[in-house]
Amino acid sequence: MANKPFMAWMTEIQQQVEGALERLLPSDQHTPQKLHEAMRYVCLGGGKRVRPLLVFAAGELVGASADNLARIGAALEMVHVYSLVHDDMPCMDDDVLRRGKPTCHVAYDEATALLAGDALQTHAFDTLSAPLPGVGPAAQLAMVHTLARAAGHAGMAGGQAIDLASVGKALNQPELEYMHLLKTGALIRSSVLLGAMAGRPLSEEETARLDVFAKRMGLAFQVVDDVLDCEADTATLGKTAGKDAAHDKPTYVSLMGLSEAKQFARDLRDEAFAALEGFGDSAQRLKELADYIVARSF
Amino acid sequence: MANKPFMAWMTEIQQQVEGALERLLPSDQHTPQKLHEAMRYVCLGGGKRVRPLLVFAAGELVGASADNLARIGAALEMVHVYSLVHDDMPCMDDDVLRRGKPTCHVAYDEATALLAGDALQTHAFDTLSAPLPGVGPAAQLAMVHTLARAAGHAGMAGGQAIDLASVGKALNQPELEYMHLLKTGALIRSSVLLGAMAGRPLSEEETARLDVFAKRMGLAFQVVDDVLDCEADTATLGKTAGKDAAHDKPTYVSLMGLSEAKQFARDLRDEAFAALEGFGDSAQRLKELADYIVARSF
C-alpha cells in the first residue's frame, strides 16, 4: 500500500470508508425507517472524507489495521456530518445545498434533520466504543475521550457558538484563529490523534510532534476552505459558495487578502511537514495528504 | 447510608448530582459564554434526577463509590436534558415551559438551543470517558457503549422518531410499548445497568435479573408519566400538561383508560420487585425508588 500512488491510495481509502459507513449505519429497512434513511442520506455517497483520510494516514505511522482505521474514520465522519446537518438548519446557516444534494431538512423536514444529526453523533460514540480487535480498552477509552473533547463545548460545538456570535463583528487574526481552532481544527486534529492511537504506542516526543502536525493542518484546512469559498462557484464546491461573505462572516481571505491567505496555508503546511521529521517513510501518506489539502487552494 | 429514610436519601443524592453537574459543566465565565450559560441553565436547579437516582440505587448493589456514581449519574442527566432541549424546539414539540422555566430556545434562541443540546450530548460522553477511579477501562468502555446504544437510533433518538411518525395514528399496545421502550425505557434501563457496572462484577444471572427490573421500570416510568400528564395541571407538573392529548399522541391513558393504566404501572412495579429477589438488602434503594416512581401516579 505504501508504494501505491497517492491518488489511487486516496480513492481506495474513500471506498473503504464508504463501505464501513454503509455497514455501520442502521438499515433503512428497519423502524424508524425515515430516521435511518435520513442518516444514510447525509452520510453516504458524498464528501471528500478528509477526516477518515487523516485517520488512515496517521494509522500508517503505527501499523494500525485497516479494519480498525475504517471504523474510527467512519466515527469521525459521523461527527462531522452531524455538525453539517445541524449547521445547515434554518435556525443556523439556513442552507439548501450540501455535497451537491439538497440539505437534510430540505430533503426530509426539520424535525428529521434534528433527530438524524442527534442520532449520528450518538452513533459515532457507539461505533467508537464497539470492539476494535487488537486495541486495548484503555487506548480505546482514550480515543472516545479525545473525540468527545474535540467535538464538544471546548471543540467543534464551542467553535460554532463563537462563529454564531461573531457574525457582523470584525475579528482580529488571533480571535479568528481561536474560533477555527475549535470549530474545524479540533476535529481535524483528533482525526490524526485517533489514527495514531490504533497501533504501536508512540513516545511522548512522537506524540508531541504529531500534535504539532495535527494543529497546523487543522488551521491550514480552514484557511484553504476560506480561499475555496471565495474563489469557487457553487457547482464546483457542491455547497453554496461565497456564503461567508454574504453572511458578513470574517474569513482569512477577508482578514489577510487572497494571496496572503494562500501563502499562509503553504506556510502552515511547511511547518506541519517539519514536525514529521523523524518518522521517516511511515509519514509519507500524512505528508502527501497535507500537500493535497493545501494544493486545493492553489 | 443504607439506614437513612428514603426521602432523606433521595434529597442527598439529588444534591450530590446537582454538585457534580455544577462542577462538570463548563463555566459560564469562559468563551463561548452564551453556550456555556445555556448548558448550565437547562441542567442545573431542576428536575427530579430520576436517572441519577437509579444509578445510585443500582450502585448500592455492587458497592460502587459515590463519586463515580455522581459522575455517571450526571452523564445520564446530560443526555436526558439534551433530549428535552431538542424535543422542546419549534420543529419538534414547540414547547415553552420545562421544569417550571422557559424552555431553552425561549430563554435564549433556537440556534443556541440546538448547539447547547448538541454540546450536552457530547459532554455526557466526555464525562463518562474521563477517569473513574477503581473502575477498569474495559468496564468503563462497556458503560460508554451501553449509553450510546441507549441514546441513539435504536434507543432514545429512535423512539422520538417513532413518536414523531405516530402523531394522529392509532397505535395498539405493542406498538406503543415499542415506541416507549426506545424513547424513555432505553435510557432508564441504561441508568440501572451503568450504576451496576461501577462496582463488583455481577454474575450473568444477576445481570439478567437486574435487566428485567430495569426494563419493567422503564415502561412503568412512561405509564406513570402518561397518567400524570392526564391528571396534573401545568403548575404542578412544571411542564405543559395535557399536551400529548392536545397533539393527538397515543398514550397509555388514551389506550387503556386511567384506572387501568394505574393498575398496569403497579403490576410492572411488582414484576420489577420480583426480579430483585436474591439481591437481599443491597436492593433496598432500588425497591424504594421503584415504589416512589409508581406511587407518583396514585
User: What is the percentage of chain A residues whose pLDDT exceeds 90?
Assistant: 80
Residue of B128 and A46 predicted with greater confidence = B128
Cα of A141 to nearest chain B Cα, Å: 6
Does residue B186 belong to the interface with chain A, where contact is any CB pair within 8 Å? no
**Residue B156 pLDDT greater than 90, yes or no:** yes
Task: Establish if A1 belongs to a structural domain.
Answer: no
Domain ranges, residue B106? 6-295
User: Given this model, what pLDDT does residue A7 score?
Assistant: 95
pLDDT tens per residue across span A193-206:
999 999 999 999 99
Instruction: Taking residues B108-125, report their average pLDDT.
Output: 98
Nearest chain A residue to B153 by CA distance is A119
Does residue A167 belong to the interface with chain B, where contact is any CB pair within 8 Å? no
Beta bridge partners of B102: B97
pLDDT tens per residue across span B177-217:
899 899 999 999 999 999 999 999 999 999 999 999 999 99
| Average model confidence (pLDDT) across chain A | 92
CA B256 to chain centre: 24
Task: Establish if B289 belongs to a structural domain.
Answer: yes
Does residue B91 belong to the interface with chain A, where contact is any CB pair within 8 Å? yes
**Residue A59 pLDDT greater than 90, yes or no:** yes
Mutation pick from A21, A81, A82, A115 vs chain B, by most beta carbons of B within 10 Å, is: A115
Instruction: Taking residues A10-21, report their average pLDDT.
Output: 97
Task: Determine the Cα–Cα distance for residues B49 and B43; give it in Å rounded to an integer.
Answer: 10
B105 φψ region: left (φ > 0), alpha (ψ -120 to 50), beta (else): alpha
Task: Determine the Cα–Cα distance for residues A48 and A11; give it in Å rounded to an integer.
Answer: 10
Helix (H) or strand (E) holding B28: none
Contacts by residues B199-203 (CB-CB < 8 Å, ≥ 24 positions apart): B199/B59, B199/B61, B199/B62, B199/B63, B199/B64, B199/B65, B200/B62, B200/B63, B201/B62, B202/B61, B202/B62
Helix (H) or strand (E) holding A181: none
User: Given this model, what pLDDT does residue B19 score?
Assistant: 98
Nearest chain A residue to B114 by CA distance is A86
Does residue B123 belong to the interface with chain A, where contact is any CB pair within 8 Å? yes
User: Given this model, what pLDDT does residue B108 score?
Assistant: 98
Nearest chain A residue to B130 by CA distance is A145
Cα of B126 to nearest chain A Cα, Å: 5
Prediction ipTM score: 0.94
Return the amino acid letter for A118.
D
Does residue A106 belong to the interface with chain B, where contact is any CB pair within 8 Å? no
Nearest chain A residue to B86 by CA distance is A114
Residues of chain B contacting A135 with CB distance shorter than 8 Å: none
Task: Determine the Cα–Cα distance for residues A32 and B155; give it in Å rounded to an integer.
Answer: 11
Q: In this complex, which of A111, A152, A161 lies closest to B122 when CB atoms are compared?
A: A152
pLDDT tens per residue across span A223-281:
998 899 888 766 666 666 666 666 667 788 988 999 999 999 999 999 999 999 989 99
Domain count across chain B:
1
User: Given this model, what pLDDT does residue A97 score?
Assistant: 93
Torsion of CA A98, A101, A103, A107, to 10 degrees: 180
Instruction: Taking residues B101-114, report their average pLDDT.
Output: 97
Task: Establish if B253 belongs to a structural domain.
Answer: yes
User: Given this model, what pLDDT does residue A234 score?
Assistant: 61
Cα of A145 to nearest chain B Cα, Å: 5
Is B114 close to A109, i.e. CB distance below 8 A? no
Q: What backbone torsions phi and psi does residue B101 show, to the nearest 5 degrees? A: -130, 160
**Residue B244 pLDDT greater than 80, yes or no:** no
Is A123 close to B148, i.e. CB distance below 8 A? yes
Instruction: Taking residues A91-95, report their average pLDDT.
Output: 94
Q: In this complex, which of B111, B126, B140 lies closest to A149 when CB atoms are compared?
A: B126
Does residue A94 belong to the interface with chain B, where contact is any CB pair within 8 Å? no
Q: Which set of grid coordinates corresponds to residue A55? A: 485517520
**Residue B100 pLDDT greater than 80, yes or no:** yes
Cα of B163 to nearest chain A Cα, Å: 10
Instruction: Taking residues B70-94, report their average pLDDT.
Output: 97
Categorize the per-residue pLDDT at B174 as very low, low, confident or very high, splitting at 50, 70 and 90: confident
**Which residues are CB-contacts of A219 (< 8 A; sequence separation ≥ 6)?**
A177, A180, A181, A185, A268
Does residue B153 belong to the interface with chain A, where contact is any CB pair within 8 Å? yes
Residues of chain A contacting B122 with CB distance shorter than 8 Å: 121, 148, 151-153, 157
Q: What backbone torsions phi and psi does residue A97 show, to the nearest 5 degrees? A: -130, 135
Burial class (CB in 10 A: 0-12, 13-18, 19+), B107: middle
User: Given this model, what pLDDT does residue B241 score?
Assistant: 63
Residues of chain B contacting A151 with CB distance shorter than 8 Å: 122
Is B141 close to A141, i.e. CB distance below 8 A? yes
B102 φψ region: left (φ > 0), alpha (ψ -120 to 50), beta (else): beta
**Residue B1 pLDDT greater than 60, yes or no:** no
**Residue B232 pLDDT greater than 90, yes or no:** no
**Residue B84 pLDDT greater than 80, yes or no:** yes
Task: Establish if B1 belongs to a structural domain.
Answer: no
Task: Establish if B148 belongs to a structural domain.
Answer: yes
User: Given this model, what pLDDT does residue B234 score?
Assistant: 61
Is A26 close to B130, i.e. CB distance below 8 A? no
Categorize the per-residue pLDDT at A2 as very low, low, confident or very high, splitting at 50, 70 and 90: low
Decide: B254 and B245 in contact? Cβ < 8 Å: yes
Categorize the per-residue pLDDT at A182 as very low, low, confident or very high, splitting at 50, 70 and 90: very high
Cα of B151 to nearest chain A Cα, Å: 7
CA A83 to chain centre: 10
Does residue B249 belong to the interface with chain A, where contact is any CB pair within 8 Å? no
Task: Determine the Cα–Cα distance for residues B82 and A118; give it in Å rounded to an integer.
Answer: 10
User: Given this model, what pLDDT does residue B118 score?
Assistant: 98
pLDDT tens per residue across span B248-264:
677 889 889 999 999 99
Q: Which residue has the cell 511537514?
A: A273
Cα of A48 to nearest chain B Cα, Å: 24
Nearest chain B residue to A30 by CA distance is B154
Nearest chain B residue to A160 by CA distance is B115
User: What is the percentage of chain A residues whose pLDDT exceeds 70?
Assistant: 93
User: Given this model, what pLDDT does residue A137 score?
Assistant: 97
Residues of chain B contacting A121 with CB distance shorter than 8 Å: 118, 121-122
Q: Which set of grid coordinates corresponds to residue A96? A: 439548501
Task: Determine the Cα–Cα distance for residues A208 and A202; give it in Å rounded to an integer.
Answer: 10
User: Given this model, what pLDDT does residue B203 score?
Assistant: 95
Q: In this complex, which of A111, A137, A178 lies closest to B92 when CB atoms are compared?
A: A111
Q: Which set of grid coordinates corresponds to residue A175? A: 480571535
User: Given this model, what pLDDT does residue B235 score?
Assistant: 60
Cα of A188 to nearest chain B Cα, Å: 17
Is A145 close to B129, i.e. CB distance below 8 A? yes
Alpha helix segments (H runs only) across B167-278: 173-180, 186-196, 204-231, 234-237, 243-246, 252-256, 258-275
How many CB atoms within 10 Å of residue B161? 27
Categorize the per-residue pLDDT at B167 as very low, low, confident or very high, splitting at 50, 70 and 90: confident
B274: domain CATH number?
1.10.600.10
DSSP state of B90: T
**Which residues are CB-contacts of B5 (< 8 A; sequence separation ≥ 6)?**
none
Angle at B173 between CA B172 and CA B178, to 5 degrees: 105
**Residue A1 pLDDT greater than 60, yes or no:** no
Cα dist. B51→A256, B54, B125, B190 in Å?
51, 5, 16, 9
Does residue B165 belong to the interface with chain A, where contact is any CB pair within 8 Å? yes
Categorize the per-residue pLDDT at B296 as very low, low, confident or very high, splitting at 50, 70 and 90: confident
B45 φψ region: left (φ > 0), alpha (ψ -120 to 50), beta (else): left
Q: Which set of grid coordinates corresponds to residue B87? A: 424535543
Cα dist. B81→A177, A184, A243, B33, B149 in Å?
31, 26, 33, 19, 17
Q: Which of A162-166, A232-236, B15-19 has the lowest mean pLDDT?
A: A232-236
User: Given this model, what pLDDT does residue B154 score?
Assistant: 97
Q: Where are the beta strands (DSSP E) in chain B?
A: 97-98, 101-102
